[in-house]
Amino acid sequence: MKRKDVEKLLKKEVNAFDDHNSLAEIKGRLGLNATNAQVQRDGSVALSRRKNRIAAAVAAFAAVVLIVVMTIAFWPRGTQSPSGPSFPVFTSKSDIYALAGISTGELLSEMGGASASSAITSSRSGQEYGQEASGELVDELDGYMQLVDTLLNAAATDIKFEELTEGEYRYRSVAVVSSANGSTVTYTMLYNEEITEEEYDEGEEERESRIEGVMRIGEDEFPFEGQREVESEHGESETELELKTYLDENDRGTYVRFKQEIENDEQSYAYEIYKNGERTDEFELEIEKEADETEISLEKNGVKYELKEQRRGNGNVITVEYENGGRHYKLVAVPQENGKYKYYHND
Amino acid sequence: MDVNKLVKRIKEGDGRAFDELYERMRKAVYYTAYSILRDPDASENVMQDAFVRFYQSLDSVDARANAGSYLLAIARNCAINEYNREKRSVSVSLETLDYLEARSPSDTGVLDVAARVLDERAFKVLVLCAIDGYKRREVAEMLEMPIGTVTWIYNKAVETLRQTLEKEGL
């Protein structure tokens, strides 16, 4: 076993620490969140005015994908980061970001009432497959299939980035996302990025910056904040981007925490969803695209699902593979007319 | 975000700053407790107690002091009190802790193995350096050690852990 493997194992285990929503417990003991209130700078308390325009569950999920768009918007194809040339420009990985961004458009189109535009449109019975699969893990996977489907069926996108000379924010990126049915959704991000710490020392460079801004989609505005850290040493670099996107500027307890890590050629996306200060969901995604094939790994509760799209008969299906209890499972997810999926064993 | 700056914002009444402080320090506080208790549930309880006590004593935290180190010191003291409470017949001093009693040779996770073969200081350095977002310099500040010492302890701890994992075929 190599030293690097030990460090990797350790890092994974240490950072998987689940605090079982201890923050809510602590704040309860301190009387800080008894009325879901926000303590203002002057010490007064203002009750949050939670909007009801979107059901909480849908909204939290939407926020997840909003952040995916942010990711591509921060690193548009062929455009340098605003923070200077020493930040990496991910041209070789840009397809992955574009792919992730397009999925958001698809999902938000659905939220806005437009018809679903998934490339998988055929509805078929399960006669050509094996026995129908069910169970706890299948149910869990089902909750993420729309996201997976959309990521796998991405279309083209166009992103523009500019530095502004007036107004509250210094940077603007506009992502025009096209869906398979021809409709487009425009995401405008306005933000400031301020370098908070810089260190140079014999070939080593560390840079931290703070990011703050808003994302506009139609009439809705979602505030976000976070930080980016880049460490470079002898030609190798590590980048971490962490963002919190709030569903409502007056409710800082409901948000999605997104973390992207890039270490040389490896990258991962981790999501945590909080509602009223309590973490309600967390999962990790990895997206790999080779030639024309896209593969998504979804890791949740220690189970890693590998998902790929495949052509079968008159339409596409999604194949799923995962290990549980020492056994390897192969499923095929077949889309139905109602937008849901049926799962069959595919051993 | 620097912990001292977060403390300043909490004192100024910024309600979000406490959440940020918690997010920034929760793992460090938890593993500080774990380095003594080696019990997840007890360490989580201590983590909560430490944050509550820290918040309640904010007035006494000097803006120029090392607030992160102070929080970890509270966590350590809470953990030792908990350890002594659980092991009433065994009194444990701040300086010397009998870890062997809390170790389980049957554990197979990397952290469990690290807890079994490393002393409190090495375990703490190893784990804090592994927490996402922490730089070696920040770990040194929190543990009030020179950065060179942290690096030396860390390298030695990783090597000890690697050899143990290899020897035990894990």
Give pLDDT, residue A181.
Answer: 47
Domain ranges of chain A: 35-118+153-285
Give pLDDT, residue B127.
Answer: 94
Which among B14, B31, B52 has CB closest to A30?
B52
pLDDT surpasses 70 at A79: no
- DSSP for A124-181, please give it: --STTS-SBP-SHHHHHHHTTHHHHHHHHT---EEEEEEE-SSSS-SEEEEEEEE-TT
ipTM: 0.83
- A7/B130 touch (CB, cutoff 8 Å), yes or no: yes
d(CA B124, CA B44): 16
Which among B31, B44, B133 has CB closest to A240?
B133
Average of per-residue pLDDT across A56-81: 42
Best A10, A208, A274 residue to mutate vs chain B (most B CBs within 10 Å) = A10
Which fold is adopted by the domain B1-101?
Rna Polymerase Sigma Factor; Chain: A (1.10.1740)
- A11/B132 touch (CB, cutoff 8 Å), yes or no: yes
Q: Residue type for A302, please?
A: G
Label residue B39 by pLDDT band (50, 70, 90). Answer: confident
- Judged by a CB distance cut-off of 8 A, whether residue B11 touches chain A is no
Give pLDDT, residue B31.
Answer: 94
Domain ranges of chain B: 1-101, 103-170
Identify the top-confidence range among A45-49, A72-76, A91-95, A266-270.
Answer: A266-270
Residue A165 CB partners (closer than 8 Å, separation 6+) = none
d(CA B12, CA B3): 14
Average of per-residue pLDDT across A181-196: 73
- B52/A22 touch (CB, cutoff 8 Å), yes or no: no
- B161/A14 touch (CB, cutoff 8 Å), yes or no: no
What tokens were used for A188?
Answer: 């405008």
**pLDDT tens, position by position, A137-170:** 788 788 777 667 655 654 335 567 788 888 888 8
The distance from CA A282 to its chain's CA centroid, rounded to whole angstroms, is 11
pLDDT surpasses 70 at B16: yes
Best B3, B49, B51, B129 residue to mutate vs chain A (most A CBs within 10 Å) = B51
What is the dotted CATH code of the domain comprising B103-170? 1.10.10
- A27/B18 touch (CB, cutoff 8 Å), yes or no: yes
Q: Mean pLDDT over all residues of chain A?
A: 66
- Give percent above pLDDT 70 in chain A: 58
- B110/A7 touch (CB, cutoff 8 Å), yes or no: no
**pLDDT tens, position by position, A189-248:** 788 888 888 887 777 788 888 888 887 766 677 788 888 888 887 777 777 878 787 777
pLDDT surpasses 90 at B136: no
pLDDT surpasses 70 at A266: no
Give pLDDT, residue A82.
Answer: 37
pLDDT surpasses 90 at B51: yes
pLDDT surpasses 60 at B91: no
Lowest mean per-residue pLDDT among A39-43, A113-117, A313-317, A321-325: A39-43
Lowest mean per-residue pLDDT among A48-57, A153-162, B8-17: A48-57
Chain A nearest C-alpha distance from B91 (Å): 29
| Chain A residues with CB-CB distance to B50 below 8 A | none
Angle at which helix B120-130 crosses helix A3-15, to 10 degrees, equals 80
More confident residue, A252 or B152: B152
| Chain A residues with CB-CB distance to B127 below 8 A | 10, 14
Cβ–Cβ under 8 Å, residues A280 and A274: yes
Label residue B49 by pLDDT band (50, 70, 90). Answer: very high
Average of per-residue pLDDT across A258-285: 74
Label residue A17 by pLDDT band (50, 70, 90). Answer: confident
| Chain B residues with CB-CB distance to A15 below 8 A | 27, 130-132
Give pLDDT, residue A183.
Answer: 55
Average of per-residue pLDDT across A279-297: 74
- Judged by a CB distance cut-off of 8 A, whether residue B126 touches chain A is yes
For chain B, the straight-line distance linking the first and the last C-alpha, in angstroms and rounded, comes to: 37
pLDDT surpasses 80 at A14: yes
pLDDT surpasses 90 at B30: yes
Label residue A58 by pLDDT band (50, 70, 90). Answer: very low
Which among B55, B133, B135 has CB closest to A206?
B135
Residue B98 CB partners (closer than 8 Å, separation 6+) = B90, B92
**pLDDT tens, position by position, A293-346:** 667 888 887 788 888 877 777 777 888 998 877 788 888 888 877 767 888 887
Q: What are phi and psi of B166, to 5 degrees?
A: -70, -45
Cβ–Cβ under 8 Å, residues A252 and A225: no
- Judged by a CB distance cut-off of 8 A, whether residue B80 touches chain A is no
- B130/A11 touch (CB, cutoff 8 Å), yes or no: yes
Give pLDDT, residue B48.
Answer: 94
